[in-house]
Structure 1
Amino acid sequence: MNDSATNTTFSPALLYLNTTVLNITSYQNSSLLAVTNATTSSTSTVTQPRPQTNSTLATFTTLATLTTLTTTPAGTLASINVPYMAAELVIAFLSTVGNLLVCAAVGFNRKLHTVTNYFLVSLAVADVCVGALAIPCAIMTDLGIPRHNLYLCVLMLSVLIMLTQSSIFSLLAVAVERYVAIFMPFRYHSTMTPRNALLVILITWVLAFLIGLVPLMGWHKTPPGDGFCFFVSVVEMTYMVYFNFFACVLTPLIVMFLIYAQIFLTVKQQMRRIAADRGGQANSEGATNIKKEMKTATSLFLVLFLFTVCWIPLHIINCFLLLCPECYVPLPLLLTAIILSHANSAVNPFLYAYKMKSFREAFKGIFLCCRGSGEGQDHHDDGRVATIHKS
């Protein structure tokens, strides 16, 4: 009853849709059984001279009800949720296109070749994979695909876990890089070299890959007999809560928030000290550099804050589902949390364009180049295209 009637989903985020439909189905089963039992009791009271026939009828009615509920194809339940799937496809498109634009901006603009931006590119690559791989796989597993292939199923269900972990490690690398830039400025250029940044990115992806594949190493449930690839039927909730959330998500987030808190407090104290030394005028070169670092740190902290806002609700609901199985969670709330978590992959390019002038100018340059190259086919004498390419 539980496995076959569960609405199929994918990823730690989509786990909650599975569990909710499971709870709703169980509730419907209980209600129908209660009605069946009530009908059976009533029939037994009226037809006491034929107890054996009524008992057989009651058993047949109960079995028929359970058979109808448990043999309903999972795809039937999933196909009803058209708005949810449409929202997933829109997020997948925005995430893929937007983060590819971020990678192109850093790749083609030498001014953006900084260690910080290398880590942001790593974050963008993870978000591109969410849009191009994870969400399409989520739609596939929503239909129970692949079937009767446990290892491929667990591998697909682990993709978003791996990508989410890579995003967290990239954000942690950005926070540490900002910490070194502000608290150890004389050692920054010798420590935060492009080579070291690429090495850190490689390490973060390897660690994220290993953490995401822990279920494939054996920490998973025995699949149901029907062979459908359901997240809730395959992935252990203890892994999702105790290992993935508490150890691999919550702990790095706490460390990052402490780093940014110390950065903001220290920069504020330095600004006050410079203003006091200058008699209330903080227009020196040091103050200008500090303001620039503060602005950059604020923008990057906003990226971290949005990531936390988008993902923590799902993890909290996950904890409720594991630690309080009898607690009822409304389906609309879960769907909102799922969409919110996936939307985080699409929001960062908009944030960069709004908060960071260098990215905004790079995006404009890319759009103008694309439009200029298209117009140049018909207007060869347009000097504006040459100017753009020259710049």
Structure 2
Amino acid sequence: MENSSASLWTAASAENVEYTKPWYPHVLLICEFIAVLNLLSNLMPIVAYLKIEQLHTPTNMLIFNQSVMDAWLSLAVQPILLVSFSRWGIMHAMQNKYLCLLAHCIARVAIVGSLLGINLLSIERAVAIFYPYQYYTLVTDTSVRRGIIAHWTVSVVLSILPLFGWNTWSPGGICLAAKFFPRVYNVFIFKVVNFTSLICTAILNISVAVVAKKKNRVDEEMSAERSGQFKIMKMLLKVVGVFYLFRMPQLLTTMFYNFTPIEERDGLPLWFQVIFDFAKSLVGLNSVFNALIYAQGSQKFRDAFKRLLKIG
């Protein structure tokens, strides 16, 4: 009876507090607009890969996997947008534990999965440039499928740990990961894995670009096959570069927020709060440009898109 009364009192008190901010509707609108663009953009390479047999190569299988994960991101972020930026969602997530936890965990599967997908693409290109003569032995349909299975497994397991009791959620609290995910998990496991992956991917791609440039100078009359590998490398470097451009603001502001003492977070400057929230809207914007990059960098994808759109 006492617990029931306390819950009702908390809910009543929450009704008198305004948990939304003036800029929330704008963030929500931008996020939904980007989500629609992202979904439509990634459907192009997905449909092209499924319908056109000439695209069935190990590299394109990884591109297909990345497109699936990025398209899934548009759907997966819907619950977290609801509980973060709409008054109805905020109020219900304060009283419904699994609405709050599921919203965060589903979104995290897509976010970390998108990052690990970029890792896979980078590793594949590294093998192509560093070990060109062993490439077709190391990169096969079987090895790529295993990599994709491992990619999805890690993404899911890393993201759903809070659903199995590793959380400090309590009624009446705002559904914010930093408030109910243990610091050990949220910062020192989840965020560290993200940053480590980003750093390793950056180093790998820089190394690939440097080695490729040196090889290009030494062997200007390279074979058509090697020339094709270099074109794919340039295309995927653009994909990785755009990924970093739009993901880093959210990661940096989130890390700053997480390392700010809990008692000081509510006192953070207004300008930081605005940037912190708007930076979230950039997550996923990178993949809006991927179809354009594929069309510009790959003749096969360009022809496939033309066939799908019945152009030419």
Letter in 1 for 2:39: T
- Farther off after superposition, 125-134 or 288-297: 288-297
Distance in 2 separating the partners of 1:74 and 1:172:
41
Following superposition, the deviation at residue 229 of structure 1 comes to 4.3
Would you say 1:328 and 2:269 are equivalent positions?
yes
1:202 paired residue among 145, 149, 158: 149
User: Percent of counterpart pairs with the same letter?
Assistant: 22
1:220 paired residue among 167, 170, 177: 167
Task: Please show how residues 206-285 of structure 1 align to structure 2 within 5 Å.
Answer: 206-223=153-170, 225-226=171-172, 229-246=175-192, 248-274=193-219, 282=220, 284-285=221-222
Question: What are structure 2's unaligned runs of at least 5 residues?
Answer: 1-10
Letter in 1 for 2:161: V
2:299 paired residue among 344, 347, 357: 357
Letter in 2 for 1:295: K
Following superposition, the deviation at residue 130 of structure 1 comes to 1.4
Following superposition, the deviation at residue 191 of structure 1 comes to 2.2
Residue matched to 1:378:
none
Corresponding residue SS for 1:213: helix
Residue matched to 2:124:
177
Residue matched to 1:118:
61
Following superposition, the deviation at residue 342 of structure 1 comes to 3.4
Structure-1-length-normalised TM-score:
0.67
Question: What are structure 1's unaligned runs of at least 5 residues?
Answer: 1-66, 275-281, 370-387
Following superposition, the deviation at residue 151 of structure 1 comes to 3.4
1:95 paired residue among 30, 35, 38: 38
The superposition leaves residues 282-320 of structure 1 with CA deviations (integer Å, 9 ceiling, x where unpaired) of: 3x343x544432222122122112222222222211222
Distance in 1 separating the partners of 2:269 and 2:174:
25
Following superposition, the deviation at residue 140 of structure 1 comes to 4.7
Would you say 1:368 and 2:310 are equivalent positions?
yes
Structure-2-length-normalised TM-score:
0.82
Coordinate RMSD, CA, aligned: 2.8
Letter in 2 for 1:149: N
Q: Is the 8 A contact 1:148 1:228 kept in 2?
A: no
Distance in 1 separating the partners of 2:254 and 2:83:
22
Task: Please show how residues 90-169 of structure 1 align to structure 2 within 5 Å.
Answer: 90-140=33-83, 142=86, 143-144=89-90, 145-146=92-93, 148-169=95-116
Distance in 1 separating the partners of 2:208 and 2:196:
19
Distance in 2 separating the partners of 1:301 and 1:230:
34
Following superposition, the deviation at residue 231 of structure 1 comes to 4.0
Letter in 2 for 1:343: L
Distance in 2 separating the partners of 1:232 and 1:255:
25
Q: Is the 8 A contact 2:178 2:186 kept in 1?
A: no
Corresponding residue SS for 2:133: helix
The superposition leaves residues 33-78 of structure 1 with CA deviations (integer Å, 9 ceiling, x where unpaired) of: xxxxxxxxxxxxxxxxxxxxxxxxxxxxxxxxxx998543557x36
Q: Is the 8 A contact 1:103 1:121 kept in 2?
A: yes
Q: Is the 8 A contact 2:83 2:175 kept in 1?
A: no
Call closer, same or farther: CA 1:206–1:334 in 2, change over 3 Å. Answer: same
Call closer, same or farther: CA 1:249–1:146 in 2, change over 3 Å. Answer: same
Q: Is the 8 A contact 1:88 1:135 kept in 2?
A: no
Distance in 1 separating the partners of 2:183 and 2:288:
27
Residue matched to 2:8:
none
Call closer, same or farther: CA 1:304–1:72 in 2, change over 3 Å. Answer: farther
Following superposition, the deviation at residue 110 of structure 1 comes to 2.0
The superposition leaves residues 72-120 of structure 1 with CA deviations (integer Å, 9 ceiling, x where unpaired) of: 3557x36973322221221121111211221001111222211111111
Letter in 2 for 1:194: D
Letter in 1 for 2:229: E
Q: Is the 8 A contact 1:131 1:345 kept in 2?
A: no
Letter in 2 for 1:212: S
* Larger-Rg structure: 1
The superposition leaves residues 174-198 of structure 1 with CA deviations (integer Å, 9 ceiling, x where unpaired) of: 1111122222223222221112211
Number of residue pairs matched by the alignment = 292
